[in-house]
A and B are shown apart, each in its own frame.
Chain A
Amino acid sequence: MKAEKILDCIGGIDDDLILMADRARNTANGQIKTKAFRWQSLATLTACITLLCISFLFIFQKEGNIGSSWGVMGNTPANIVNGGQLAESDGWVYYEMNGLYKIRVDGTEKTLLDSGEYRYRSINVVGDWIYYITDCIYKMRTDGTEKERLDINDKVYSASVYGDWIYLNSENILSEVNYHERMYKVRTSFTDFQVINEEKHSDMCVYDGYIYYISLETDIRTLYRMNIGSSEKEKLSDDTVGNIIISDDYIYYSNLDDDCTLYRISLNGENREKLDCDYMGRPYFVQNYPDFTVQDDWIYYKYWGEPMLSPDYNPDLSIDGYENTKYIYEENENTGLWRYNVDSGEKIRLSEAPETFLVPNITENYLRIQGTYFVYDPLYLYKWNGSDYEIEQQYIDRGTALACLGYINGTDHNVYVSTENWEITEDTSRIRDMFYGTWNIDRSNSDKHDYLIIDDSEKDNLVTGGTDGGIFYNVKDYSDTLVFISSMESVGEYYFYWTDKAYPKFIYYAKATLVEHEKYGKVFNLGKEPFIITGSKTISPLNEPENNFISRRKLREMANEYGIDFSMLVDLEYEGCVHHEWSFYNVYLVSEEENKLIFKSTLHSPSSIIDVIYTVEKIDGVWVRTISTFPDAIEKYKNSSFELKFYSHDREKDPDVLCDSEDCFKYNSQMIDADHFALQFAYYFYEYTDLKADDIWYEGNKVCIDLDKEVLQMLDMGSTGGRMYRIALLLTLSSLPDVKYIEILIDGERGIIGSHFDFSQIFDVDKMQIY
């Protein structure tokens, strides 16, 4: 038979089926038609036709299934039972991240729709309406407008939009476990509120004409479903059910009668099947939320580690919960987020799972995970990149971040941190373990992703060293916290970076000032409402250093390994150019032997750069360092000299230097060693001026320098010293790469002629004569 004929026959199916599907189409597209399906008129019509009479009876038997719901769901039942904090609709993803957000599936146009409420949940999106719960149920347009709330006497726990109705249950705020006393329904127009079931229950979700739930009417958690149309209830399993997830016409559940192992059954309770995945349900958690989810025959769960019977477990007690935990888990290399394919049995390890307990919400492209009980547990939104999940956004409560520092909440409402009893640490493995990585920095209201990279490549110089001379601390009484503090003393700011083992996938950053507080002594002030930036660890591999680059952390490790004083490796000085731990930093390993290490580095002053080679060698049991210039920077002046012509008193005419007349002056001449003076000048400038990087710039092949008037006085001296400084300045500038001309500005002004020197001239490096 031809496929075309089948499609032709499908063209002849009953009106009621077409209307049902059409209704689903239109409701989903936000174009709810006013025409309603009229059972009575269909009944009248069908009653007249014998053949259709059979259909009529059939349809009425099925009326309970169809009711007036038409099957359009606001979110998947799997997500709703897991809190419903992620939904995907029409190319957009809606999610909770300390606010209600939407973002395009491709990760662009992140938009905050609503904020200020506690934990948005049961997010349902139908057409251009969003329904959600905070303290009660709300609806608003998908652009955030026309917000409307519905108050009912009970607190609402969850909501499932199904067709024209919203199915709700009550929140029992007195109970530690997830149980609810009533189910309701109300139209999506917020009218016609009705109680539909008064049975203690948990895990309520709506799917395909039924409400599925775990009945808590007896001590045994029993799986039921209730027909939406007829309210008829049906027991689906004899197992004691931990939690349920409905996906793809199956009910997946953790079986408390079998150590929380995962099972699945068909929607009608048949075809019971034990699943062979490594899921480890934890009874004291699962009573609140499932710690797994299912999407497209894949089960997503966290493998916690090797299960071991808890030494405190008492098998005589029936409770398997906080009071009597049966298993504890030891993390191993397999600990992480896994997915298991029910059909093929394939198991794949995905990214490292967050350390917190999983409450996964999943759509085709996104995964959202949060902790369960604790208000302050962090939230993560992952985006599927085709082979794994990558963090898209994350949130952790500020209080949680600050708590790691053992902060003082000042009476003046400032947050203070005292490092008085903190301990400086050089525990390299701890530092590497807790700080190294690529951290995705939270920019909650923008699409932009910033990354803080801490690794041995030091591509991002913020934490491991770079130009900062920061120090790592262990926080007293908070032994799981590691803090790195660096400073910019010139502006009096201190930068705190810290991580904590409780949430090792987060890094925090805040600015502080050092103050002398009358009550707390010398403390860091983080301000009244500290602005804390959080980053979360991504799965990106660490960058490897290039060209034998040695990070400062690595240098510290080498110093420890060889028993060398660390300052010997980083505090360098050569004829005025310096290299302090807090200053310029760039070290490459040339060679490494047991008793001899050779490095190449660069010494800077604000106006000069010199490459040096330094050797650290063990002689008679003592490490000794020698430094020599590395000739790149001043190669062209090496072994050359310049004629210095200077204008000074003619001692023959005026031996006592009393005459001011020009006749008493003459040009003198002296040969100068270029290398020596360039370094001398650099040292001078480094020590006595606050020349900044933007005081020297290129205009094509001309380099310009803008000097302070005070410096001008030094340069414009008629003495030999003044002339030497002038020469040194010009030689230094001419040693910069690709310089042909030099121009000197004074306080931003060009064309200044001094008393003893014409600064206005443009110096040609190749024909330079200085006097």
Chain B
Amino acid sequence: MNDLAIVDLYWERSETAIKETEIKYNKYLLKIANNILANFEDSNESVNDTYLKTWNSIPMNRPTELSTYLGRITRQTAIDIFRKRNRKKRKGSEYNLSLTEIEEYVCNTDTPDDEIDYKLLTELINSYLHMVPENSAILFIRRYYFLDSINEISESMHLTKSNVKTKLHRTREGLKEYLERAGFSI
């Protein structure tokens, strides 16, 4: 079933919507969740939460790209679960590893949340990713949005692991510089 038809089902409040979503996107969402949680049961839980959240949110929205709509929810749900539970237990979590990679580029100070314009930060990241070479953007998004492992990325993109790491390093450096030029100190 195509995405528009599935969205229509949500709007019609048909429970088939969830079943069709599961058929089409369960594997995709589980992968995102498991990259973050490195635990099958927790990942399943976050994907099930995604279906519920989608059920509750779609009548208000009509997503044009259902996959990204679902993926965002799963990603955030899984991150929420990750934060609630002990981070140290998440051995193998790509989210955990990604955090470590990002931490090298930020001053880990507890700036009060209300002093940071997250919307602007997101927009700047968006602009930056549109500026950099396509492959660099893909690598960055695969690593820090989809939380794909370095191994997976290197194998599927015919790059060596160190090549992937180098490219990510450069993109992160570039992002930091770009944000700083925009007056955003991270």
Identity of the chain A residue whose Cβ is nearest the Cβ of B36 in the assembled complex? A7
Bound CA–CA A429/B51 (angstroms)? 79
Interface of A is mostly: mixed
The one of B64, B109, B156 that contacts A41, using a Cβ cutoff of 8 Å? B64
How far, in whole Å, are A368 and B162 apart by their CA atoms in the complex? 20
Does B11 touch A at the CB level, under 8 Å? no
Known: A15-B64, A248-B166. A65 touches B106 (CB 8 A): no
Are A7 and B144 in contact, with the CB atoms below 8 A?
yes
Selected interface stretch from A22-30, A458-466, A693-701: A22-30
A29 to chain B: closest residue by CB: B156
Minimum CB–CB distance from B45 to chain A (whole Å) comes to 19
Task: Assess whether B161 is in contact with A13, with CB atoms less than 8 Å apart.
Answer: no
Complex CA distance for A5 and B102, rounded to whole angstroms: 10
**Residues B128-145 near A (CB distance < 8 A):** 129-130, 133-138, 141-142, 144-145
B118's partner among A9, A45, A58, A70 (CB-CB below 8 A) is A9
A9-44 interface mask toward B, CB cutoff 8 Å, 1 = contact, 0 = none? 111111101111110110011000001001001100
State the CA gap A605–B14 with chains docked (Å): 95
A42–B63 alpha-carbon span in the complex (Å) = 11
Which A residue's beta carbon lies closest to that of B185? A1
| CB interface residues, B 107-138, toward A, < 8 Å | 107-111, 116, 118, 121-123, 125-127, 129-130, 133-138
Known: A24-B157, A41-B64, A267-B133. A5 touches B116 (CB 8 A): yes
Give the residue name and chain of the B residue nearest to A105 (CB).
B155
User: A66 and B64: CB pair below 8 A?
Assistant: no
Question: Size band of the A side of the interface?
Answer: 35 or more
Task: Map CB proximity to B onto A257-283 as digits: 1 under 8 Å, 0 otherwise.
Answer: 000000000010000000000000000
Give Cα distance in the complex from A38 to B3, angstroms.
12
**Residue among A3, A14, A89, A248 having the largest count of chain B Cβ atoms under 10 Å:** A3
Q: How far is the CA of A105 from the CA of B85 in the complex (A)?
A: 37
- Does A73 lie within 8 Å of B158, measured CB to CB? yes
Closest to A38 in B: B64
Binds A, one of B15-23, B52-60, B72-80: B72-80
Given contacts A65-B134, A267-B133, A363-B160, contact A7 B106 (CB under 8 A): no
Size of interface on B: residues with Cβ below 8 Å to A = 61
A11 contacts B102, C-beta separation under 8 Å: no
Q: By the criterion CB–CB under 8 Å, are A13 and B145 in contact?
A: yes
Contacts A9-B121, A90-B155 known; A66 to B146 CB distance under 8 Å? no
Contact B160 A72 (CB under 8 A): no
* Alpha-carbon distance between A41 and B71 when the two chains are bound, in angstroms: 19
- A296 and B166 contact, Cβ closer than 8 Å, known pairs A1-B116, A5-B116, A55-B130: yes
Are the CB atoms of B99 and A4 closer together than 8 Å? Answer: yes
> How far does the Cβ of A645 sit from chain B's closest Cβ, in whole Å?
82
- Check: B39 CB closer than 8 A to any chain A CB: no
- Nearest residue (CB) in B for A364 is B160
Choose one: B155, B158, B166; the contact of A75 (CB below 8 Å).
B158
Contacts of A267 in B (CB 8 A): 133
> Please, how many angstroms separate the alpha-carbon atoms of A11 and B119 in the complex?
11
A73 touches B116 (CB 8 A): no
Bound form: Cα–Cα A29–B148 in Å? 12
B122 and A13 contacting across the interface, CB-CB below 8 Å:
yes
The answer to whether A248 and B122 touch (CB under 8 A), given A1-B107, A13-B141, is no
Contact status A13-B126, CB under 8 Å: yes
Interface string of B143-178 (1 = CB under 8 A from A): 011101000001111111111001100100000000
**C-alpha gap A48/B157 in the complex (Å):** 36
Taking the closest CB of chain A, its distance from the CB of B63, in whole angstroms, is 9
Asked if B116 and A10 make an inter-chain contact with CB atoms under 8 angstroms apart, the answer reads no
**CB-based contact A11/B76 at 8 Å:** yes
The distance from the CB of A196 to the nearest CB of chain B, in whole angstroms, is 18
Q: Give the nearest-CB partner of A65 in chain B.
A: B134
Whether B163 lies near A22 (C-beta < 8 A) is no
A594 to chain B, nearest CB (A): 60
Whole-angstrom distance from the CB of B24 to the nearest CB of chain A? 9
Q: How far is it, in angstroms, between the C-alpha of A738 and the C-alpha of B165 when the chains are bound?
A: 65
For A12, the chain B residues whose CB sits under 8 A away are 72, 118, 122
Task: Give per-residue flags for A41-67: 1 if the beta carbon is below 8 A from chain B beta carbons, else 0.
Answer: 110010000010001001100100110
How many angstroms from the CA of A13 to the CA of B68 in the assembled complex? 10
Q: Judge if A390 is at the interface, Cβ distance under 8 Å.
A: no
Q: What distance in Å separates the Cβ of A442 from its nearest Cβ neighbour in chain B?
A: 28
A38 smallest CB distance to B (angstroms): 8
Are A3's CB and B106's CB within 8 A?
A: yes
B48 within 8 A of A: no
A8 at the interface (CB under 8 A from B): yes
Given contacts A2-B106, A74-B158, A208-B133, contact A10 B138 (CB under 8 A): no
| Given known contacts A13-B122, A13-B129, A7 and B95 CB-to-CB distance under 8 angstroms | yes
From residue B145, how far is it (CB to closest CB) to chain A in Å? 5
Residue of B nearest to A207 (CB): B135
Task: Say yes or no: A35 contacts B3, CB within 8 Å.
Answer: yes
In the bound complex, do residue A17 and residue B123 qualify as a contact, i.e. CB atoms below 8 Å apart?
Answer: no
Chain B residues with CB under 8 Å of A25's CB are 142, 146, 148, 156
Contact indicator B160/A8 (Cβ below 8 Å): no
CB distance from B106 to the nearest CB of A (A): 5
Residue with the highest number of chain B CB atoms closer than 10 Å, among A28, A73, A207: A28
Q: Give the complex CA separation of A10 and B142 in angstroms.
A: 11
B98 in contact (CB, < 8 A): yes
A55 and B79 CA atoms in complex are apart in Å by: 27
Q: Given the complex, which residues of A lie within 8 Å of B116, measured CB to CB?
A: 1, 5
Does any Cβ of A come within 8 Å of B186's Cβ? yes
Q: Is B103 an interface residue (CB 8 A)?
A: yes
Whole-angstrom distance between the Cβ of B124 and the nearest chain A Cβ? 9
A596–chain B nearest beta-carbon distance, Å: 62
Residue ID in chain A nearest B63 by CB atoms: A15
**Complex Cα gap A35–B123 (Å):** 26
Select which of A7, A13, A45, A71 is within 8 A of B64 by beta carbon: A45
The answer to whether A208 touches B134 (Cβ under 8 A) is yes
A576 at the interface (CB under 8 A from B): no
Q: Is A87 an interface residue (CB 8 A)?
A: yes
Shortest B151–chain A CB gap in Å is 10
B79 / chain A contacts, CB cutoff of 8 Å: 4, 7-8, 11
Known A-B contacts A3-B99, A22-B67; the reply to A296 vs B162 at CB < 8 A is yes
| Complex: A295 Cα to B167 Cα, angstroms | 13
- B134, A19: Cβ atoms under 8 Å? no
Nearest to A41 among chain B residues (CB) is B64
| Chain B residue, CB-CB nearest to A3 | B102
Q: Is the CB of A7 within 8 A of B99?
A: yes
Are the C-beta atoms of B109 and A1 separated by less than 8 Å?
yes
Contact of A19 with B145 at beta-carbon distance under 8 Å, contacts A208-B134, A295-B160 already known: no
Q: Which residues of B contact A15 (CB under 8 A)?
A: 64-65, 68
Given A15-B64, A208-B135, A6 contacting B126 (CB threshold 8 A)? no
User: Inside 8 A of A297's CB, which chain B residues have their CB?
Assistant: 166
Inter-subunit contact B167/A17 (CB<8 Å): no
One of B110, B136, B163 near A296 (C-beta < 8 A): B163
CB distance from B59 to the nearest CB of A (A): 18
Closest residue on chain B to residue A35 by CB atoms: B3
Among A25, A70, A297, find the residue whose CB has the most chain B CB atoms closer than 10 A: A25
Using CB atoms, name the residue of chain A closest to B127: A58
Residues of B within 8 A of A22 (CB): 67-68, 71, 146
Instruction: Name B2's closest neighbour in chain A (CB-CB).
Output: A35
The 4 residue pairs across chains A and B that have the minimum distance between CB atoms: A28-B156, A21-B141, A3-B102, A364-B160
Q: B-contacting residues of A (Cβ < 8 Å)? A: 1-15, 17-22, 24-25, 28-29, 35, 38, 41-42, 45, 51, 55, 58-59, 62, 65-66, 70-76, 87-91, 125, 207-209, 248-249, 267, 295-297, 363-364
**What 12 new A-B contacts, CB under 8 Å, besides A10-B141, A17-B130, A364-B154?**
A5-B118, A7-B79, A11-B75, A13-B145, A14-B126, A18-B65, A20-B138, A21-B145, A55-B127, A71-B157, A125-B158, A296-B162
15 interchain pairs (CB within 8 A)? Answer: A1-B109, A7-B95, A10-B144, A13-B145, A17-B145, A18-B145, A19-B65, A21-B137, A21-B145, A22-B71, A25-B156, A66-B134, A70-B138, A89-B156, A91-B155
